[in-house]
A and B are shown apart, each in its own frame.
Chain A
Amino acid sequence: MFWSADPERPRIWLMLAPMLVVVILLFGGGLFFALIQSFGYLPLIGQTSVSLGAYATVVRQPSFLASLALTLYIAAASTVVATVLAVAVALAIRATTRGRQALSFIFQFNLPIPHLVGAIAVADLLSQSGLLARVAAAFGLIDDPGQFPVLVFDRWGAGIIAEYVWKETAFIGVTVLAVLHAIGPEYEELARSLGANRWQRLRLVLLPLMLPGVLAASVIAFAFSFGAFEVPYLLGASYPQALPVLAYKRYTAVDLAARAEAMALCVIITLVAGAAIVAYLHVSRRYLRRESD
């Protein structure tokens, strides 16, 4: 067997090697080639010079800022809403004694459902002829599909946000439930014995204890919704488009030179997602330092 030949000197790097090959070669290689292509280095079409031209082209397009703003807005709005809902629902489930298991299951039941299906379901639910519009019509609120608010393929990405909230509430919620379970009831009981009321226990004890875990899950959700492509591709308006959709469009353009622009967009997406992680690490470190003071 791979690892037990010498009990004392396990071949740690041998055990890690296959995974490091995957991560460094495939993931690192992918990033690297996206980067050099974004600088215009495309030997396939005979371009070997290096420039920032693609970035200049991309950034100067009037649609870029609108796309960046939309993507940031979608990711931020869906993450904030999902986080608040997840924390609230997880606390509610925790406070429930009867049916807690069934509630937890429903809470996380959509975790394995792909975003693709989520997007289709949201379209069937929220479009102007969707289920909600029909319910509105049944109550006599509207007579015609056109009177129902545009929630899918709309300028403000309402459908996209709805899909992300649906999925990410479950994702963040499962994390929050695990965190709450790990915290246990003791801290709250302690606070209670010291005279803290329900609100004080939540604000001064539970929320601070939950914060690191909740923040980590939220940042992952943010980075995902910022860089994912299926949902805005299916539910987004034709203008403005989310950055990943823009990148994919440039990538599939007939014009091979557009490739560098697609890669430049990819690099920008990666940088923003990376910045979110760095910001998270910074905040969480500062938070932890304050804790240990």
Chain B
Amino acid sequence: MTALQLANLTKTYPGASAPALRDLSLDVAPGELVALLGASGCGKSTTLRLVAGLLIPCRGDVRFDGQSVLATPPERRGVAMVFQKPLLLPHMSVGENVGFGLRVRGERPARIRRRVDELLELVQLPGIAARRPGQLSGGQEQRVALARALIVEPRVLLLDEPFSQLDAGLRAEMRELVAGLQRRLGITTLLVTHDQEEALLLADRIALLDQGRLLQYDTPRGLYERPASLAVARFLGGRNFIPGRVAGRRFLSDLGAFELATEPPVQGAATLTIRPEALVLGCDGPINRLRGMVTAARYLGARMRYQIQAGPLALEALADAATPYHPGSPVNLTLPPERLWVVARDE
């Protein structure tokens, strides 16, 4: 198992005005799966290609187990990449595709054949080595691509949106497979994705990138519940933002004062945020109460989504669908202190 360290990585493409990646530092523990999450153009694919050696950074370093690999060409770094498209070589059989990495290392054909069978077994496609890539379905192709990456026993596995071209059912299946194999084999893995659900589901830690900058590097829970900034909270689907200021363990806003469970890291002008599903509707709690009016209600199956006007603020709440509120009806809101989070005001 390999520890991966990115130190102050900066990359500006020739001719580009702004860097694609600025001063990114990231420590990935051995066997950890880290998701690089962000919108397109945030620098996540650039990071992956820098780790693979397919790009050379302008500044900074990439280290495997503390050793810089910048001078090592991609074919000797011991990484393996899985791309968005399966990219199975059309002139080779499935087995030859899977065995590619061993073949270029000069392994004996007998051993290659054995390993190919093992790996195809591992991705739950036993006995298809003789087929042509054209005979496979999209999901099978991507699993073969995964086997082809794993056969070289990479020190670092790089996954570049490998699920994005699959339809919903296959995607869930593939995610399970990848997560299971990654844990079992203990391969240090970087996963690039723009899908926050996927990142939350699979990653041990998530690095959230925006315009080449690292916004936050944390566990899924940390990122989701304790965003470091308004931008992070917004990216992860935050809807409810109440401007005001922090005074000790109290948050003062136009809607009144709110009790906080702990003293927040920021003081002074700040923004209070609460997840839509954390808002409690209907019952009168002892503290942190608000009165509002339902302006819109949407049925989502398991839950209802409400738009609620509370004073000057529009809030969003998710609540059980059993006892619906109708648009126009007044509603009591409670903001449980332990679910409140304060972030610094946007600069």
A interface residues with partner B (beta carbon < 8 Å): 6-9
In the complex, which residue of chain A has the Cβ closest to the Cβ of B56? A8
The listed residue with most B CB atoms (<10 A of its CB), out of A6, A8, A9, is A8
Hey, which chain B residues are within 8 Å of A9, CB to CB? 14
The reply to whether the CB of B54 lies closer than 8 angstroms to some CB of chain A is: yes
Top 8 A-B pairs, shortest CB-CB distance: A7-B54, A8-B56, A8-B55, A7-B74, A7-B55, A6-B56, A7-B53, A9-B14
Q: How far is the CA of A194 from the CA of B14 in the complex (A)?
A: 49
Query: How far is it, in angstroms, between the C-alpha of A184 and the C-alpha of B242 when the chains are bound?
Result: 56
For A4, the closest partner residue in chain B by CB is B73
Chain B residues close to A by CB (< 8 Å):
14, 53-56, 74
Which residues of chain A are near B54, meaning CB under 8 Å?
7-8
Chain A residues in 8 Å Cβ range of B74: 7
Closest to A5 in B: B73
Closest chain-B Cβ to A148's Cβ sits at a distance in Å of 57
User: How many angstroms between the C-alpha atoms of A7 and B57 in the bound complex?
Assistant: 12
B56: chain A residues within 8 A (beta carbon): 6-8
For residue B14, which residues in chain A have a CB less than 8 angstroms away from its CB?
9
Closest to B74 in A: A7
Q: How far is the CB of A11 from chain B (nearest CB, A)?
A: 14
Q: Output the least CB separation between A10 and chain B (Å).
A: 11
CA distance A8 to B11 in the complex (A): 12
7 more A-B contacts (CB under 8 A) besides A7-B54, A7-B56, A8-B55? A6-B56, A7-B53, A7-B55, A7-B74, A8-B54, A8-B56, A9-B14
Q: Which residues of B contact A6 (CB under 8 A)?
A: 56
B52 to chain A, nearest CB (A): 9
> Closest CB-CB distance, A5 to chain B, in whole Å?
9
**What are 10 sample pairs from A and B whose C-beta atoms fall under 8 A apart?**
A6-B56, A7-B53, A7-B54, A7-B55, A7-B56, A7-B74, A8-B54, A8-B55, A8-B56, A9-B14
Complex alpha-carbon distance, A6 and B55, angstroms: 9
**A8 contacts across to B, CB distance below 8 A:** 54-56
CA distance A201 to B14 in the complex (A): 47
In the complex, the chain B residue whose C-beta lies closest to that of A9 is B14
Report how far A8 CA is from B54 CA in the complex, Å: 7
Please measure, in the bound complex, the distance between the C-alpha atom of A8 and the C-alpha atom of B56, giving whole angstroms. Answer: 7
Query: Which of the listed residues A6, A7, A9 has the most CB atoms from chain B within 10 Å of its own CB?
Result: A7
Chain B residues with CB under 8 Å of A7's CB are 53-56, 74
Provide the bound-state CA to CA distance between A6 and B54, in Å. Answer: 9
Closest to A7 in B: B54
Report chain A residues within 8 Å CB of B53.
7
